[in-house]
Amino acid sequence: MHELSLQYIKRLHMGIDLNNIPLPMVDLPLGFWYVPWSLQLLEVHADIQYRGFCNDIDAKLFPTFRQYDGCVRLMQAVAESSNFMPEATLLIAHGESGDLIEYVAAVQCVRYSSDTGAIQNIAVLPTYRNRGIGRGLLLGALWNFKRVGIRNVTLEVTADNFYATRLYRRIGFSTIKIYYREIGN
């Protein structure tokens, strides 16, 4: 008889009160810029999700991230949701002399109430990590939340994702709740 082994992954539900935390100014590295949400870029968002998550623990937790088509369906569902917040949904592009080389990071955001929003997904392509791109992406989304009156923002992250949890804490997020997700091998 084949025995299923289970693994439990610790997840953090984190939040920030944008009225009580001074947000740093956004400073993207030279040659990188923000691209606002556009329906024509839906598949770019999906591609960054796929390439950013497909080899990470999140792909074990969320099977959607294992396949490009799954990420496209997820992006379609997010974009069609009445909670979708295009104002805070961004891409970061990289280029030289104004010419696009590649889209390198994406964040999708939703609104739960008049003053509460959430970061649905935030992904940076592996070759662009540890360059300040994730920080810039997060701050860009938070500034856009604040601009439209959102006060509280939440997100979820795998506790073992050291770089992401450190970034979120440095920006001002704190842990609201800890829970465990079960995955089978």
Burial of 35 (0-12, 13-18, 19+ CB in 10 A): middle
With a cut of 80, say whether residue 71 has pLDDT above it. yes
172: left (phi over 0), alpha (psi -120 to 50) or beta: left
What integer pLDDT is reported at residue 6 of this predicted model? Answer: 81
| 22-36 average pLDDT score | 91
* Rounded Cα distance, 79 and 14, in Å: 23
What pTM, to 2 d.p., does this model score?
Answer: 0.91
The side-by-side arrangement of strands in the sheet containing 152-158 is: 32-36, 90-96, 99-111, 116-124, 152-158, 6-17, 174-184
If one compares 9 and 177, the residue with the highest pLDDT of the two is 177
> What residues are paired with 92 via a beta bridge?
34, 105
With a cut of 80, say whether residue 59 has pLDDT above it. no
With a cut of 60, say whether residue 55 has pLDDT above it. yes
97: left (phi over 0), alpha (psi -120 to 50) or beta: left
What integer pLDDT is reported at residue 5 of this predicted model? Answer: 77
* Rounded Cα distance, 142 and 150, in Å: 9
* 1-15, 36-50, 59-73, 126-140: least confidently modelled range: 1-15
Domain locations in the chain? 6-184
What integer pLDDT is reported at residue 151 of this predicted model? Answer: 96
With a cut of 80, say whether residue 92 has pLDDT above it. yes
| 124-130 average pLDDT score | 95
The pLDDT mean for the chain works out to: 92
What integer pLDDT is reported at residue 126 of this predicted model? Answer: 95
| pLDDT confidence tier of residue 1, bands split at 50, 70 and 90 | low
Three-state secondary-structure class, residue 77: helix
Burial of 142 (0-12, 13-18, 19+ CB in 10 A): buried
6-184 CATH pick, 3.90.190.10, 3.60.70.12, 3.40.630.30, 3.30.70.20: 3.40.630.30
What integer pLDDT is reported at residue 51 of this predicted model? Answer: 94
The set of residues, in sequence order, having a beta carbon less than 8 Å from that of 152 and lying 6+ positions away, is 15, 16, 17, 18, 115, 116, 117
What integer pLDDT is reported at residue 179 of this predicted model? Answer: 93
Query: Is 122 in contact with 110 (CB distance < 8 Å)?
Result: no
